[in-house]
Amino acid sequence: MKRIRSALPLTLLVFFAFTLTGCISVSQSVLMQGLPPVPMEDVTVYLADDEIPEHTRVAILSARGDHVLTTEGKMFDKLRAQAGKLGANALIVGEIEEPSTGAKVASVLLDTQANRRSQAIAILVETQ
């Protein structure tokens, strides 16, 4: 008698992998190439209304992720990590846009995504 292996362990593994990463995707438009990477912990986050030091733009970043599986903190971390990979040592973050109530309801009823979104500019601040 052959035993049939269940796909449940693999399904659970995939589910937990997506849950831990938060399913945040970042797209980028690179403006400056060839910079050495910067550790995420060394990437400073500025808000749009902060006083921002003199800098050079490295890339424009756009992040999105399902509102159920992501938090603002995870989204900032993902943007910081991507900026660091591109060699930026700072990030100017715009507002995080939350999905509308209608999008959230549709995501439950129609099994679609309701995404949280944010844009940021990865910059290189000249150190003195």
Is pTM beyond 0.85 here? no
Q: What is the mean pLDDT of residues 103-110?
A: 60
Q: Which helix (H) or strand (E) holds 53?
A: none
pLDDT digits (tens, 9 = 90+) for 21-58: 458 889 899 999 999 999 999 999 999 899 999 999 99
Radius of gyration of the chain, Cα coordinates, nearest whole angstrom: 18
* Whether the predicted pLDDT of 115 surpasses 90: no
Q: What is the mean pLDDT of residues 78-87?
A: 96
72 versus 47: which is more confidently predicted? 47
Burial class (CB in 10 A: 0-12, 13-18, 19+), 118: buried
CB-based contact 124:91 (threshold 8 Å): no
What DSSP line would sit under 19-47, residue for residue? HHHTTEEEEEEESS--PPP--GGG-EEEE
Q: Check residue 110 and give its pLDDT.
A: 60
Q: 97: which DSSP letter?
A: B
